Chain A
């Protein structure tokens, strides 16, 4: 069973995506802030991270910078998933090798599941 880590501070959104992803056969873990997320990535080794950008304390870009610095976890697949579509932030996220930068309102949970499956099948 593939493991997905959702880094998201809106509980209601976490519940919604967890429900859809679990239904689609994924194991879902979640965390609401960047620093804890880094600890969890090391411990749980998820197959893919769904990362919100605007988070409490340190933002998603901080998470990506730290992740890419640590050789043990640097290769984890990350999809940025936020309603904050500032061009500069997007550019930085792609520099830090996110697989995609998705705007939440553009996708239904089913479309997100399809996107995740597609990314995981590519590796």
Chain B
């Protein structure tokens, strides 16, 4: 028969030892760091929680008052622990100012809940012993306690998920470690401290939920202290392989009395170790390969960024001087010189646009492109784009028609510059590929989404061209046959910008020579 109380005792001692070691380790790394201080304090609370809950359980029914006091201390500490966990996230993300209101609400809820738990019978009415196991008699406020607990969990996870995409690869890894720790902790607590006791009445595994805090602290400490972290995938694979190996070994040694079966299980254990090793090695290889690709991609983005900046200086000089020549700063231009000068200016403008597009792409792909959202009327943006492009359409002798909606449409939350660039790109494309007729722009609302519809009477596209239209460096056949302007980046950038807004962009055409219609669909929010 397995002695659970002995295992429990060993586990508590082990957790105490590891907890103290982690607290000292993290605190010593940077005694003045807020993150390090919060971690150390959190560990102390965790030790209070685990130890007092343990004492409450071993004291026994003859000292029930003392057991209840210890239990209340453990429960008093719990919401404080969750509060510190939230603060740890805020310090980890370095977002104290942005979440000031949430932080105050969490502090108020956590501390309030701790006080109510300890000093009233609202949550814990008392305790009793069932088959020698301690069981809590919950008060009416238990649901309130769970509700606050749920709020604290959501408040902790919310900034993590919200800010995740903005961080560098290195910071993302730290967050992933923390998330794994937090996941094990929340899951164990939900199973052992909530579901098993309240639904199935099983209280003997209570301690496993409490003890899972050590995983949270372990993963977090590792993320804080270590500068270069292994990918979380390799850590989880190793952990899983080790866990199965330990179980197999225990099964073979402790639970198998027959020697022949022991040998067989030992053999299985050895085979498992070998395959486990192969698995870990392959995961490691895959991670290394991915890191290499990421490194090359970063180097490429950096190169484009620097090259673009360097390219812009001579382009500025050309733009500046040619514009001054055209304005007559150096005397009136003769009729023959003006047109070539205008062509130089236009070509230079095209080069500038190309450099800007390359920069945008390198930023999008490096995940550095951010949205500056504001409530704007899409109609206003369309009007300003039309004002800019109407001269171009007039020069080609085609119409540019804006069919204003009859009633006012809602303003939507978008990044003005980016959506303007999308609409400008699509209309400009329409003008470029239309020689007869013109371009019509409409707006329509359907299913909570606002769609800008841009139709032209130009070259149109075949089906296979439509599918490639929004990829980088591809243009419709008509485009590549008749025109050389543009490197096919505009629509690709447009797609990426629209996707950043959780929208959709696509094109339809009945075939070559039958015109095209572009749709830019954005959510109304």
On A, residues with C-beta under 8 Å from B are 10, 12-13, 16-17, 19-20, 23, 54, 83-85, 87, 103-106, 108-110
- Contact of B370 (CB < 8 Å), options: A84, A87, A104: A87
Q: Told that A16-B324, A105-B352 touch, could you supply 20 new A-B pairs with CB distance under 8 A?
A: A12-B317, A13-B316, A13-B317, A16-B321, A17-B320, A20-B320, A54-B309, A83-B309, A87-B370, A103-B312, A105-B312, A105-B315, A108-B319, A108-B323, A108-B324, A109-B320, A109-B323, A109-B324, A110-B323, A110-B324
Tell me the bound Cα distance from A20 to B329 in angstroms.
Answer: 8
Chain B: which residue is nearest A81 at the CB level?
A: B316
Tell me the bound Cα distance from A60 to B359 in angstroms.
Answer: 21
Which residues of chain A have C-beta atoms less than 8 A from B368's C-beta? Answer: 87
Which residues of chain B have C-beta atoms less than 8 A from A108's C-beta? Answer: 319-320, 323-324
B319 shortest CB reach to chain A, Å: 6
With contact pairs A20-B329, A23-B329 given, residues A83 and B313 touching in the complex (Cβ less than 8 Å): yes
Q: Is B286 in contact with chain A by the CB < 8 A criterion? A: no
Bin the interface of chain B by size.
Answer: 10 to 19
Q: Is B288 in contact with chain A by the CB < 8 A criterion? A: no
- Contact of A110 (CB < 8 Å), options: B327, B356, B359: B327
With contact pairs A13-B317, A108-B319 given, residues A83 and B329 touching in the complex (Cβ less than 8 Å): no
B378 shortest CB reach to chain A, Å: 23
Tell me the bound Cα distance from A43 to B385 in angstroms.
Answer: 45
Do residues B319 and A105 form an inter-chain contact, with CB atoms below 8 A?
yes
Chain B: which residue is nearest A23 at the CB level?
A: B329
B94 shortest CB reach to chain A, Å: 14
On B, residues with C-beta under 8 Å from A are 309, 312-313, 315-317, 319-321, 323-324, 327, 329, 352, 355-356, 359, 368, 370
Tell me the bound Cα distance from A83 to B316 in angstroms.
Answer: 9
Which residues of chain B have C-beta atoms less than 8 A from A103's C-beta? Answer: 312
Do residues A104 and B316 form an inter-chain contact, with CB atoms below 8 A?
yes
Which residues of chain B have C-beta atoms less than 8 A from A104's C-beta? Answer: 312-313, 316
17 chain-A/chain-B pairs, Cβ below 8 angstroms: A10-B317, A12-B317, A13-B313, A13-B316, A13-B320, A16-B320, A16-B321, A83-B316, A85-B359, A87-B370, A103-B312, A104-B312, A105-B312, A108-B323, A109-B320, A110-B323, A110-B327
A8 shortest CB reach to chain B, Å: 10
Tell me the bound Cα distance from A23 to B323 in angstroms.
Answer: 15
Chain B: which residue is nearest A109 at the CB level?
A: B320
A49 shortest CB reach to chain B, Å: 19
Which residues of chain B have C-beta atoms less than 8 A from A12's C-beta? Answer: 317
Tell me the bound Cα distance from A61 to B319 in angstroms.
Answer: 26
Which residues of chain A have C-beta atoms less than 8 A from B352's C-beta? Answer: 105-106
Which residues of chain A have C-beta atoms less than 8 A from B320's C-beta? Answer: 13, 16-17, 20, 108-109
Which residues of chain A have C-beta atoms less than 8 A from B355's C-beta? Answer: 105
Do residues A16 and B317 form an inter-chain contact, with CB atoms below 8 A?
yes
Tell me the bound Cα distance from A104 to B356 in angstroms.
Answer: 12
Which residues of chain B have C-beta atoms less than 8 A from A85's C-beta? Answer: 359
Tell me the bound Cα distance from A103 to B315 in angstroms.
Answer: 12
A79 shortest CB reach to chain B, Å: 15
A9 shortest CB reach to chain B, Å: 10
Tell me the bound Cα distance from A13 to B370 in angstroms.
Answer: 30
Chain A: which residue is nearest B348 at the CB level?
A: A105
Which residues of chain A have C-beta atoms less than 8 A from B329's C-beta? Answer: 19-20, 23
Chain A: which residue is nearest B356 at the CB level?
A: A105
Which residues of chain A have C-beta atoms less than 8 A from B312's C-beta? Answer: 83, 103-105
Which residues of chain A have C-beta atoms less than 8 A from B323's C-beta? Answer: 108-110
Which residues of chain A have C-beta atoms less than 8 A from B370's C-beta? Answer: 87
Tell me the bound Cα distance from A84 to B352 in angstroms.
Answer: 13
Counting from the closest, the 10 A-B pairs by CB-CB distance are: A83-B312, A108-B323, A104-B316, A105-B352, A16-B320, A105-B312, A109-B320, A105-B316, A105-B315, A84-B309
Tell me the bound Cα distance from A83 to B317 in angstroms.
Answer: 12
Tell me the bound Cα distance from A12 to B324 in angstroms.
Answer: 14
Tell me the bound Cα distance from A84 to B310 in angstroms.
Answer: 9
Residue from A16, A83, A106 having most chain B Cβ neighbours under 10 A: A83
Chain B: which residue is nearest A20 at the CB level?
A: B324
A54 shortest CB reach to chain B, Å: 7
Chain B: which residue is nearest A85 at the CB level?
A: B359
A25 shortest CB reach to chain B, Å: 14
Residue from A10, A84, A105 having most chain B Cβ neighbours under 10 A: A105
Tell me the bound Cα distance from A17 to B329 in angstroms.
Answer: 12
Which residues of chain A have C-beta atoms less than 8 A from B313's C-beta? Answer: 10, 13, 83, 104
Tell me the bound Cα distance from A113 to B317 in angstroms.
Answer: 16
Tell me the bound Cα distance from A10 to B327 in angstroms.
Answer: 23
